[in-house]
Structure 1
Amino acid sequence: MTSSGDLPVPDDRRARLRAADADRELVHEILSAAMAHGSLSLVEYEERAGKAVRAKTFGDLDELTDDLPVAQLGVAMPAATMSPGPRVTGGSSDAAVRHRLAIMSGSELSGTAVVADALTATAIMGGVEIDLREVEFTAPVLTVECVVIMGGVEIKVPEGVTVEVGGLGIMGGFGGKSQKSPRPGAPVVRVTGFALMGGVEVKVVPREHPDE
């Protein structure tokens, strides 16, 4: 096989390249979306998510997503480049926050972050805290898709927004009440997903108490 500097890196070489945390996080987002859409069962998701945590190369990660309809899952993919493998940089025109991931750790979203129309919160033996009181909404409806396995997701929403809480709890649960905003045109925060031996808690918190 011949190659030149004008050709992309061969797949076999790419498969041996070391993956970064951003690459593993992207795969977790794909797996979460696949389970939410019914392409993966809960058991399959748990197995692949565990392998993604331990993955060292792009080849390891590719094996976990090769049979999934990634283009149909609504996951924002990084722009194509001439680099050997995909990287998540967030430095594009589509820089809105789309996911938070905590695996045996914690993750947080707060402040004046810009959030996309869909946000995936994945907590596997860890915790995700999402504070929406000061964020910038980019769409009338923000859907927060929660995937919780022996962990927890806490979501704080400001007063004056419409809140819709759904989802499935398996030896776990979703806490929080739905409410309709009295203000026409107010943002809608829709919380859904599932919690296995864990929980999702949605709280409506006044803006004037940022430390609550």
Structure 2
Amino acid sequence: MTTSGDLPAPDDRRARLRAADADRELVHELLSAAMAHGSLSLVEYEERAGKAVMAKTFGDLDALTDDLPIAQLGVAMPAASMSPGPRVTGGNSDAAVRHRLAIMSGSELSGTAVVADELTATAIMGGVEIDLREVEFTAPVLTVQCIAIMGDIEIRVPDGVSVEVGGLGIMGGFGGKSQTASRPGAPVVRVTGLALMGGVEVKRMPREDPDV
């Protein structure tokens, strides 16, 4: 929701993010509290509650609450629930990205791309950059299978996801730190594969890093 003080300022990226059931439930709590507070009439509550059930994005939910005095309603606002952090959208996996290949060249994946449950990254005397900070996850676990032969693969993961790194480096390096996310329901990024005279590096970065 877009209010001053407790909640994040609106932006186009956040408005496009898919909302979860917990976000819709929170909006229902806010609408109920607003009706009890006298900020909404019964008719207005029923109309907005119906729209909240059908809401797909944070932008849809924001439109239902951005004129309400959130701070006066006494509803606890869980930061993790309303955070525009990474989440599983369950989008169209048929159109999702599954491969990135670089042979004596470069290839990258970034932005708001939709990624499948398995992603193969192959770098042969080339480089592959995979930035997962803004992507849409279609499954709870994303497995990135890396093959780096005299090449390099860099994978950037956002705060708020669990990371599991387990690969083999032969005359090369396979680096990165496994870490469990504190937010329930957060996606899991599992990185595995082989680095032969090459390198695979997994880096955890904020979703908005001015130096990248």
TM-score interval, smaller chain: 0.5 to 0.7
Rounded to whole Å, the distance in 2 between the matches of 1:169 and 1:118 is 21
Paired letter, 1:202: V
Q: Which runs of 5+ in 2 are unaligned?
A: 1-91
Change (3 A) 1:210 1:113: farther
Q: How does 1:121-132 map to 2 (within 5 A)?
A: 121-132=121-132
- Cα separation, 2, equivalents of 1:123 and 1:105: 8
Structure 1 residues 89-100: aligned runs within 5 Å: 94-100=94-100
Q: Which residue of 1 aligns with 2:171?
A: 171
Distance 1:93 1:185, change over 3 A: closer
TM-score (norm 1): 0.56
Whether contact under 8 Å (2:100, 2:107) holds in the other structure is yes
CA distance in 2, matches of 1:145, 1:95: 19
Please give the residue correspondences for 1:103-114 in structure 2 after superposition, counting only pairs within 5 Å: 103-114=103-114
Give the structure 2 partner of residue 209 of structure 1.
209
1:165: Cα distance to partner?
0.3
TM-score by length of 2: 0.56
Give the Cα separation in 2 of the matches to 1:99 and 1:127.
14
Q: Give 3-state SS (helix, strand or coil) of 1:120's partner.
A: strand
**8 Å contact from structure 2 (residues 150, 196) kept in 1:** yes
Secondary structure of 1:186's counterpart equals coil
Correspondence for 1:183: 183
Structure 1 pair 121–93 and aligned structure 2 pair: CA distance change class (3 A)? closer
| 1:119-149 superposed Cα distances (whole Å, 9 cap, x missing partner) | 0000000000000000000000000000110
- CA drift of 1:93 comes to 7.1
SS state at 1:181 partner: coil
Moved more, 118-127 or 201-210: 201-210
Residues 80-128 of structure 1, C-alpha deviations (whole Å, 9 max, x = no match): xxxxxxxxxxxx9711000000000000000000000000000000000
Q: Give how far 1:195 is off.
A: 0.5
Q: Distance in 2 between matches of 1:211 and 1:135?
A: 19
Matches of 2:109 and 2:96 in 1, distance apart? Answer: 12
SS at match of 1:167: strand
CA distance in 1, matches of 2:128, 2:160: 23
Tell me what 1:158 maps to.
158
Please name the residue that 2:102 is paired with. Answer: 102
1:145 aligns with 2:145: yes
Distance in 2 of aligned mates of 1:174 and 1:166: 8
Q: What is the rounded CA distance, in whole Å, between the counterparts of 1:175 and 1:167 in structure 2?
A: 8
Aligned partner of residue 94 in structure 2, secondary structure: coil
Measured after TM superposition, the shift of residue 208 of structure 1 is 2.1
Q: For residues 34-76 of structure 1, what are the alpha-carbon distances to aligned partners after superposition, in whole Å with 9 as ceiling and x for unaligned?
A: xxxxxxxxxxxxxxxxxxxxxxxxxxxxxxxxxxxxxxxxxxx
1:210 offset after TM fit, Å? Answer: 5.3
In 1, the alpha carbon distance for the partners of 2:93 and 2:191 equals 26
> How many residues of Structure 1 are paired with residues of Structure 2 in the alignment?
121
How many Å separate the matches in 2 of 1:154 and 1:180? Answer: 20
